[in-house]
A and B are shown apart, each in its own frame.
Chain A
Amino acid sequence: MSALRNTLAIAVTVGAVYALASRPVDRHLPDAPDAAPAPDASGQLVVDLVDGATLEDLAEIERLLNADLDWTSPMSVDEALAEGWVADLDDAVALLANHPLVEVVEPQIEMAIPIDLNFDSLVVVDDYGPAAGFPDDPMYSRQWNLPAMGAPHGWSIGAMGGGVIVAVVDTGVSKVEDLEGTKVLEGASFVPGTRTAEDDQGHGTHVAGTIAQTTNNGKGVAGVAPEATILPVKVLSKWGFGQSSWIASGIDYAVDNGAQVINLSLGGGYSAVIHNAIKKARAKGVIVVAAAGNTGRRGVGYPGALEETIGVSALGPGGKMAPYSSFGKGVDISAPGGDKRVKDGGILQDTVDGKGGHHYVEYQGTSMATPHVAGAAAVLLSRGVPADKVEQTLLQSARGDGWDEKFGHGQLDLGAALDTSVENANGIRFLLGAFLAFLIAQMAGTTGGFRIRSAAVGGVTAGGLFFLSYLPLPDLLVVRLLASGLVQWPEILFGHGWMHFPLWLSAALPFGLAFTLGAYRGTRPIALGVAAGYAAVLFHGAATGGLAPWGLPEALGHAWLALNATVAVLLGMGMAGTEILEMQERRR
C-alpha cells in the first residue's frame, strides 16, 4: 500500500513539475487566410494528394480534370504533390476541393525573396582587420548582430548547434571560403533546370552563413550555431522566386531528410500547399522559422504569418525595428536584420559574388533576421531542449514587455533562452533527484536525518545549486560548476558533447561510489544521493530526449539511459537496505 502511495507521489510530482514548466505562449495571428482565389483562366494547378497516393490515384484525378498531371519532383512521390496545366483553374479547384484523394488544391503561386545581381551597389567589406580573443574571425568586430542576440553566450558554454540539421530552403547554398569547416549536406534542388542545390544567386549562402558560418577559423566572420549541419534545399531560382509547388516539395524533402529546423527566408501571399507542408513538418516536431516580409507596413506575409511558423521581424543595430520590416499580427519575435542607413549596419556574411567567386557582403532584410532565430533554435536543440519547448523558450526569454506588433514577444536573446532552459531543466532535475533519493531512503525505513542528507545530495547531483543562476554572481568556472548538475560537468570542463559520452551517461559512477562511499555509514547518504540523482537525470534525459549517448541510435540511446537509471535506483535501494540492516545490528 505504501509502495503504491509512493509511486503515486512520484507520478504526481513529475506531472506537476512538467505542467509548471510548460507555460503556453499567447500567439497573435492575423485572421485566417482564404486560399488564393483561382482566376477564370487556364493555368498551372498544384494538387497535394493524400500521402502515399499511387499512380492509379493520380490517373483518377487526371481523368476527372481531363488534364495531364506529373509529380512535382521525383522526390515528391511520397508526399504525393502533383502539378499540371488545366483549361480552367476555377473549375478544377472546385472539382477537387472535397475529393477524398486530395488534401489541398490550388493554382500555382510564386514566392520570392528580393533579388538582383546588382552587387556593385552593396556595401562590400573585404579587408581583414584584427580580432582579439574568441572568436578569432577577423571581421567579427563588424558583426554587431551576433552579440546583440546573445550568440557569444552560446559559444562560451560550447552550445553551438552540434548534431542539429537546419534546412535552408532558399536559393541554394554554395560552400564558399568561410563555410569550409561547416557541415553542409548535398541537399537537393526543386527548381526546374537546376540539378544541384548550388547557390546561383547569393541569398541562400548568406542565410546559411548567419546560421552556421565556420567560426574561430581565423577567417572572415562568425555564425550563430557553427556546429549545426546545413541541409541546402533550392526552391528559388536565380531570380529569387519560386513556385508554391517547388517550395512545398522542398519543405517535404527537408523533413524527410532529417531537418530539425527549417529556415524560410522567403514570403508572399497565402499558399495552401505550402501551409499543408508546414503543418506536416510541425506534426513531425520540426521547428519552422519564417520571415515577416519587407513591406515596411502593417501586414505580415506568408508563411511567416502562419500559426505553425515563428514569424520574425527585423531590427537595426540600435535595437529599433528596421524601416523595411513588415509588422503586425503574425510577428512572434524580432531579430537583427540590419539597417544599412547606419555605417556597418547590415548583416555581414560570406556568399557567392555572382561572378564565380565569393565575397563578404552586408545584406539587410527580414530574410537576414530569420536565420538568427533558426540558429538559436539549433543551439537550444543541441543543449537538449525538447523540440516542442524550443519556440516557447525563445519567445518567453525574448527581451520585451509582452507582445507588440513590431517586436512580437520581444527581441531574440539566446543567452536568456539558454539560461532559462538550463535553469528550468536543472530545477526539474533537482526536484526529481531529491525526491527519488528521499523516497528510496524512506521506503527502506531509514532515519529522518539519513533521508534528508540523501535527498540533499540527490538534488544537487541531479540539478546542482540551480538557483545560483538567478543570482548576480560573476561568470566563474566554479560558479558554473556549482550551478550545474554533476552529469553536466564534462560539458563545462571539456566542451560541448562530452556530457554524452556513454560511460558517463551510465550507472558506472554510482556503482563505483556504492562500493566505496556506500560501504561506510557516514558517507552512505552521499553515495545513495548520487545514485538517485543520477537515476533522475538519466530518466529525465530519456523522457525528454535531452541526453543522447554517443554512437547509439535514438531508440537504443533511450533504452541505455533507462536501463542505467534503473540500475542506479537498485544500487540506491541496496544502500538503503544496508543502512537498515546495520541499524538493526547496532540496536541488537
Chain B
Amino acid sequence: MTLKGTLKYVDLGPGQWVLETRKGKVSLFGDIDTALDGREVEVEGDAVDGMSASMVGGSAVSVRSVRAKG
C-alpha cells in the first residue's frame, strides 16, 4: 500500500515514527531516514494485521520505503 502524509518522530521509549494522514495517525515500523522528520512523504508498506499495536495509537504499517514528496 502507499500512504501519504506528514512524517513525525515521536519521542517515546527509543522513539516512534508516525505518519499523520488525512484519515488519522499511522505508526510506522522500519528503517526511516531521520532527515525526513517533519516532511511530506509517500510511504510504501504493508498493513500489520488489523491493529495499530503501537502504544501511540492508530493503525500500524511495516515500511518498505519512504520517499519525500516534491
Contact = CB atoms under 8 A, between A and B. Distances in A.
Contacts of A109: 49-51, 53
Given A239-B30, A295-B57, A115 B49 contact: no
A268 B14 contact: no
Given A121-B34, A240-B29, A340-B11, A110 B16 contact: no
A411 interface: no
A112 B27 contact: yes
- B interface residue count range (under 10 / 10 to 19 / 20 to 34 / 35 or more): 20 to 34
Interface string A104-130: 000111111111111111100000000
Interface in A253-284: 265-269
A115 B14 contact: yes
Nearest to B14: A202
Interface in B35-55: 48-55
A390 B63 CA distance: 42
Contact of A269 (B9, B29, B31, B53): B53
Contacts of A468: none
A301 B55 contact: yes
Given A112-B27, A201-B14, A118 B9 contact: yes
- In this complex, which of B13, B32, B49, B56 has the most chain A Cβ atoms within 10 angstroms of its Cβ? B13
A121 B15 contact: yes
B26 interface: no
A43 B15 CA distance: 29
Interface in A274-319: 291, 293-295, 297, 301
A211 interface: no
Contacts of B14: 114-119, 122, 201-203, 206, 240, 363
Interface stretch (A365-373, A471-479, A569-577): A365-373
Contacts of B30: 239
A110 B49 contact: yes
B13 A241 contact: no
A207 to B, nearest CB: 9
B16 A115 contact: yes
Chain B interface secondary structure, helix, strand, loop or mixed?
loop
A269 B13 contact: no
A114 B53 contact: no
Contacts of A122: 11, 14-15
A536 to B, nearest CB: 47
Interface centre among B12, B16, B56 (most CB of A within 10 A): B12
Contacts of A268: 51-55
Contacts of B55: 112-114, 266-268, 291, 293-295, 301, 326, 365-367
Contacts of A295: 55-57
Nearest to A368: B13
Contacts of A43: 49
Nearest to A109: B51
Contacts of A116: 9, 14-17, 32
B29 A107 contact: no
B22 to A, nearest CB: 19
B60 interface: yes
Nearest to A41: B50
A543 interface: no
B54 A113 contact: yes
Given A109-B53, A112-B53, A241-B60, A294 B12 contact: yes
B10 A114 contact: yes
B5 to A, nearest CB: 17
A36 B48 CA distance: 14
A110 B48 CA distance: 7
A119 B14 CA distance: 7
B54 A114 contact: yes
A367 B13 contact: yes
A512 interface: no
A241 B29 contact: yes
A199 B14 CA distance: 13
Nearest to B30: A239
Contacts of B48: 110, 241
A241 B34 contact: no
Given A115-B29, A120-B34, A324 B52 contact: no
A107 B47 CA distance: 14
B20 to A, nearest CB: 14
A107 B49 contact: yes
A121 B53 contact: no
B7 to A, nearest CB: 12
Contacts of A448: none
Contacts of B27: 112, 114
Contacts of B15: 114-118, 121-122
B11 A112 contact: no
Interface string A82-113: 00000000000000000000000001111111
Nearest to B15: A116
A360 to B, nearest CB: 14
A203 B12 CA distance: 10
A337 to B, nearest CB: 9
A364 interface: yes
A30 interface: no
Contacts of B54: 112-115, 240-241, 268
Nearest to B17: A116
Contacts of A15: none
A529 to B, nearest CB: 55
16 contacts: A110-B60, A111-B53, A114-B15, A114-B16, A115-B14, A117-B14, A121-B11, A122-B14, A122-B15, A240-B16, A241-B29, A241-B60, A294-B12, A301-B57, A366-B55, A368-B13
The 7 closest A-B pairs by CB, nearest first: A114-B16, A116-B15, A268-B53, A295-B57, A114-B12, A112-B54, A239-B29
Given A110-B51, A117-B15, A364-B13, 16 more contacts: A107-B50, A109-B51, A111-B51, A112-B60, A113-B54, A114-B13, A114-B14, A119-B14, A201-B14, A241-B53, A268-B53, A294-B12, A295-B55, A363-B13, A363-B14, A367-B13
Interface of B: 9-17, 27, 29-32, 34, 48-57, 60, 62
